[in-house]
Amino acid sequence: MVESGRVRLSKTVHEREEMLEIPLQHEEVLVERVPVNQFVADGAPTPGLRYDGDTTIIPVLREVVVTRLLVVEEIRVTKRTQTTTLTQPIMLRHEEIHVARNSADGAGPAAAPGTAPIQ
């Protein structure tokens, strides 16, 4: 084996703080109680859960003495998605590698401690 040169590697880590805008998303639910007070027609099916766009409508029923169903109120649940932007300082790091080549015949820079021979 013949040594043909040496290489010295050094790594530098650079840090900088930067303000980043981070989109955040959360959901909100709006609950409304809407009075109805209507009897269900004789022989009609019992009203059930239904949807009106993004709103879920849940009927609240009460059985009255004459065994007719009275829709007392409806509960309307609407879900909305909200997006906000948060600006927060973030530390960013990047690495830089430096390569110094030294020839074995002494023509290049002198070999320094910690250099590795190339074979």
pLDDT score of 4:
81
Angstrom distances, CA of residue 17 to CA of 12, 20, 59, 94: 17, 9, 55, 12
Distance separating the N- and C-terminal Cα atoms of the chain: 7
Does 119 map to a domain?
A: no
Residue ranges for the chain with pLDDT beneath 70: 67, 104-119
Q: Each residue of 19-41: pLDDT tens digit?
A: 888 888 988 999 999 999 888 88
pLDDT score of 108:
53
Contact (Cβ atoms closer than 8 angstroms) between residue 39 and residue 69:
yes
Does 88 map to a domain?
A: yes
- Number of domain units in the chain: 1
Does 118 map to a domain?
A: no
Model-level pTM? 0.44
pLDDT score of 5:
83
pLDDT score of 59:
93
Domain that holds residue 107: 5-112
pLDDT score of 111:
47
pLDDT score of 119:
45
Strands (E), 3-105: 5-39, 50-52, 55-63, 69-103
Round to whole Å and give the CA distance between 74 and 10. Answer: 71
